[in-house]
Amino acid sequence: MTAMAVLSKWADLARSHSSAATSYVTNLSGPARSTLKLVAGSAGVGLLAAIVAIAATGPWQAGQRTAERAWAAAREGANAAENSITPAPSAPAVLTGIDPAGSTSATGPDTPLPTAQGLDAALGPLFNDPALGGIRTGAVLDAATGRRLFGHQADQPTAPASTTKIATAVAALETLGPGYTIPTTVVPGQAPGSIVLVGGGDPTLTAAAPTPGADPSAQPASLVTLADATAKALRARGTTKVTLSYDTSRYSGPVIHPIGINENIAPVTPLMTDEGRVDPNSTEDAPRVADPAASAAQSFAGLLQARGITVERTPAPGQAPSASGAPIAQVRSMPLSALVERMLTNSDNDIAEHLARQTAIGAHLPADFSGGAQAVRQALARLGMPLGGTVFLDGSGLDRDDRLTADLLTRLLATAASPAHPELRSVLSGLPIAGFTGTLSDRFNASENAGATAAGLVHAKTGTLTGVNTLAGTVVDTDGRLLVFAFMTSGTADADAAVDALDRLATAVTACGCR
């Protein structure tokens, strides 16, 4: 789907709600505070607001944001002429955010604020749906002021599933910054004629060649690029025969997630290609290689061989000398902002666990599961987040013993929308869009679906484990007000019914105006 087709689809949806709706753009001081001021004239205003918001948080081409499209293009070897890429901005425009002074100027003083009574009347009965299981919690906040407008056991810790990734994203961006990149490096070994491939922890490193002509910062780093540069540097030194080892010392602790070997996640090692998938062209949960680091090193050896560099013996584990001097060659990942977008849009467990470890490295903690969890908690504490009763055991939410609250998730999202925190913008631009992208592409978009009227208006991270279903994100209500929400359930018996119930809750927030 092209960008124009996406916008046209939203426009059709807007017209189906109302023929009269207006919006205009107001730019606050500084690009990070660029925002939309919405004037509510009809039920269609919120949807038109979403159209402009999505165009602003792009860039869009072929129906995907830059980070997703670049990844797909690298996988498919797409023609450069059809896939020129604009780098994803580290601080894309957003609708609104918390004003540190408590002002609602980002949304606009004329935009009505829903009342607690109105939201309670709209959402309260929906929380009685038995499909939501034995534990059901929720919260709705106004993004401009951070004021809680609705709460249903909002402070009760419960299993978050993949909405944990919101916390991981915020912590990584707060600790490392949106422009942070992850290196994969080749350095001289200790012995003459030896080289070491050093993993930095980039799970998106690909064995595929880069897309010709595309901006390197907007597509995954390539092992092919690294081999090209390494072979060139070695020949310049008069070296055509090497021994190769690989260094995975940047991480520590177990490489297998506590859930065990699982197709949802590869062993967490700082050296891998294509997220350790047996089939690198797979974009879904798929079988993983048993030893991603060894597999990546073997692929690298083959690439060197193809470039006239003889690699003696099978690559073996090793460690780079502490004083190895200048690297022979290096590639770097996409910026952290793009990695966060991809992680959230696709609910990518591999990226999540690596970002938790990168956050631990930035916080000078052990780069293992516990160190990553501790680093996430510390980063959120620095932001003043409510952490009472919360438990972080991983970065992805695959651990069933993780515990977060609806209050925490909504405050993380509201903070990401704040003009005071432009470094967190990719948390918002990475959220799947109802009926259009990522894990929400097949929700809110069918006429028989109870959430059909919210297509394009709900931007949210999904969470799913057996018996656990969650949804947290942003909505534009019928008056054009940006709200953040989190709905969490545990003990669900029918996943499809639980998902429909969650979608009805989110749709109710978009539809009511609630005064």
Let me know the angle formed at the C-alpha of 118 by 115 and 123, rounded to the nearest 5 degrees. Answer: 120
417 residue type, one letter: A
Is 232 among the residues known to form the active site?
no
- Taking Cα atoms as reference points, which of 277, 334, 331, 283 lies closest to residue 67? 334
Q: Is the CB of residue 353 less than 8 Å from the CB of residue 395?
A: yes
- Considering only the C-alpha atoms of the chain, give the largest distance between any 2 of them, rounded to a whole number of Å: 77
Is 19 among the residues known to form the active site?
no
Catalytic residue among 37, 42, 90, 165: 165
- Residue 325, judged by CB atoms within 10 A of its CB (0-12, 13-18, 19+), counts as exposed
Q: What are phi and psi of 185, to 5 degrees?
A: -130, 150
Element (H, E) at 315: strand 310-317
Q: Hey, what's the torsion of the CAs at 310, 313, 315, 316, to 10 degrees?
A: -150
Is 447 among the residues known to form the active site?
no
- Taking Cα atoms as reference points, which of 350, 318, 346 lies closest to residue 333? 350
Residue 308: count of CB within 10 angstroms of its CB: 10
Catalytic residue among 23, 42, 162, 299: 162
Q: Provide the 8-state DSSP code for 165.
A: H
d(CA 485, CA 463): 14
Catalytic residue among 23, 347, 396, 490: 347
The token duo for 256 is 């297998």
Q: What are phi and psi of 49, to 5 degrees?
A: -60, -40
Tell me which residues are annotated as active site: 162, 165, 347
